[in-house]
Chains A and B, each alone.
Chain A
Amino acid sequence: MSGYQEWADNMYGQRDHFLGLAAEYGMGLIGPRIPPLFDAFVCGDPDRVEEMVDHLNAAKYVLNKDLREHLGGAQLDMAGWVGDAAADFLDYLLQLEDAIGLLTECLDALIVILRSHAAVVLAMRQDALNLVDLALQGIEAAGADDWKVALAVVGAVAGVLGTVASLGTATGALVEVVTVMGSAISGSAGVAGAVIDASSELGVLDDMIKAGEGIVAEVREQTSAVDAGLRELARFVSGTKLAEVRPDRPDVITAPSFDPGSFGMTDEAQGRHPRPTDTTDLVPEPKRRPDGPYDRGRGMIDPDRDRYEEQGPA
């Protein structure tokens, strides 16, 4: 069983036990508010985030391997090739190097964003368990004389992104992303003040639900900050910055003055082989993959807008 499934099973189990308790105490308006709370606590899977981070690290490895083995090798192969075409092609290779550097920074930033999301989910789980613990303590104490429960719910989720936002040594895309995420959570109120303060079993359940709804609201604040970070990161690989990660192809290949025949060999070496006469691109523009279900906007205003322009022109 996956870690997520284990968590979900426990949350649904606890939900059912609290529903049972509410039914024993007369349910009232409490019962229907219990399932949405535990449904919210089930959301998020930190283990999947670690899998994604593994994939991103693998992508970084491949990018850097390409940088070392292919781009470096191409520059060596260009030794002795001079002229406008060579300069143009060399410029293209250098832009590709920069693009790989930028993509690596973006991958690092994406890893930080994903780990921030995972930290929010873990903090939410911790808060959820503390809340359940306190509610059970309250109900268990119900047998005592003159009992009254007053237990503070300390919200771990409230400050979880604060640590991310204070990362100081980052550079490039990560700095921008962290700054945006930090501003997004600066107005967050937190749930540290929430308490279970009741003198009846139903009162305990009511306070548990109110405090739980506070935790969920805080999680929404934190995840919206994570979303803001993702949007900021997307800015680095789209729009005007798209050319930085996907440099334009060298002009030499499609220049009007280009003579394919000049790529032939000497007459003697050419022999009876025909000289190249094709005037189309020597290296054709790669075809764009067909759009997936999420490539087109769903809005009424511009339904055909390409949402993922980094795939290149059609």
Chain B
Amino acid sequence: MRLRSLFEAWNAFFFAPQSPIPIALFRIIYGSLVIATLTLLRPDWLAWYGPHAWVSLPTMHTLEPGTRLNLFAVIPQTDAWINAVFWIFLGSAILLTIGFLTRLNSLLVFLCLASIHQRNVYILHGGDTFLRVAGFFLIFAPAGAALSIDRLIRIRRGKEDAGIQPRSPWAQRMIQFELALVYFATFCAKVKGAPWLQGTAMYYILHLDEFKRFPIPSWFLHPLMLKLESWTALVLEFSLGVLIWVKELRYIVLTLGLLFHVSLEYSLNIPLFQWDILSAYILFIDSADITSAWDWLRTRTAVHRLDR
């Protein structure tokens, strides 16, 4: 490969304008997941982040020293202020989802998300971490360029016409990169452990009482099946980290990934984790295919209405 072709590939990947529909759809799913996270946190909001929380602010500073992007470190430690953060956060998440003042609200959502994570890192799962890191890159993305109130306002003011303009996708690429890295890093960590290589890892996981959700058929717990499940997890995580970049294999890998996460959602109790990760799959779908799917759905709905 020549250096020039490498530069060209880099530029085409990060800067060749493309439809902002995938990143706009991601914004909607992302915002909805943040709203869901907040809804689940609401009953214990003060227990986790309040002035008399499970982990006090001084203890947090002791365990996690250094300067952090954390609103809780600068606001007065009263119930009213801590609750105000919740409502501002929720409001921003709703506005981000509908795409109103998208850039400002993506910044506010990230700031609030980073703050609650910094305030108590001991209650976070991987899905939270993914939302935080993806949220950082979402700030830079043209997430309000389609399917947003912002766009409707621009059209009404005559600043934009009905056609959606392609945009530089570099921020979207960073979220895609992050997703692939999540899988690849998990794969690398797993292959260092003997239970994963020997195929016994799933035995332990499926017998952890705290993670059990719905009943699993007994044949699924047969030693041979457990080996197969452990190795399948390794193969899938490698594929989702590496083969996802191969265009011809992408949709196959994404479909397998979807089935993988849905099966985990059924069997393991880690609320929202699977959906947090799956949210970024939309970024790997070609905007032309999204448009085709949308047109097909509209046609089907129209035919269905005419039939009635």
Q: Do A and B share a complex?
A: no
